[in-house]
Amino acid sequence: MIQHEVVVRNTLGLHARAAARFVQVASRFKSRILLEHEGRTADGKSILGLLALVGGQGARLTIRADGSDEQEALRSLIELVEACFGEER
């Protein structure tokens, strides 16, 4: 299992559309994806779990990936978060 910490930078935080993007990308991989925020953990392929994490702007999230394609998965997800989920300022 590998993990990496990212900071949510878009103003609306991990809002619905951002979470949707995250789940879409995470679901492309076979690895199990977990997202941790302030001691709580959510399934990275579950949008409800992600939304309930309540990561606003500036939130530090730890992404964990575990599986055969974990490297690729983690890299894609980090990119996505750092690109502010590809849509928001």
Partner 1 sequence: MKEPAGTGDGTIRLRGVGVSGGIAIGRALVLEGPDVAIFRLDLPPGKADGEVARFQRAVRRAWRQLRDLRDRVRNEAGEAYGRVFEAQILILRDRALHQETASLIRREHVNAEWAFHTVVGRYTQVFSQLGDQALRDRGTDIEDVEARVQAILTGSRKRHDLSELTEDVIVVSATLCPSDAAGLNRERVIGLAIDGGGPTSHTAVIASALGIPAVAGLRDASTRVRTGDFLVLDGSEGVLLNNPGEEETASWRDRRTRLAQRELDLMMLRDQPAVTQEGVRVRLQANIELVEELLAARRFGAEGIGLYRSEFLYVRKAPGFPDEEEHYRTYRELAENALPNEVVIRTLDLGGERYVSTLLERREPNPVLGLRGIRLCLRREDMFRTQIRGILRAAAHGKVRMMFPMISVLDELRRARAIVNEVKRDLLAQRVPCDPDVPVGIMIEVPAAALTADLLAREVDFFSIGTNDLIQYALAIDRGNESVAYLYQPLHPAILGLVRRVVDAAERAGVRVSVCGEMAASPVAAVMLAGLGVTELSMNPAAIPPVKQVIRAIRMADARALVEETLRLDTPAAIEALARRRVSELVPAEPAAALGSRP
Give the bridge partners for 6, in sequence order: 61
SS3 of 89, please? coil
User: Within a 13 Å sphere around the CA of 68, how many CA atoms are in the beta-carbon half?
Assistant: 3
What would the x/- binding string for partner 1 be over residues 4 to 43, using CB under 8 A?
-----x-xxx-xxx-xxx-xx------------------x
Check if 4 is active-site.
no
Structure tokens at 12: 């609306």
Contact residues toward partner 1 (CB under 8 A) are 9, 11-13, 15-17, 19-21, 23-24, 43, 45-49, 51-52, 54, 56, 82-84, 86-89
The set of catalytic residues is 15
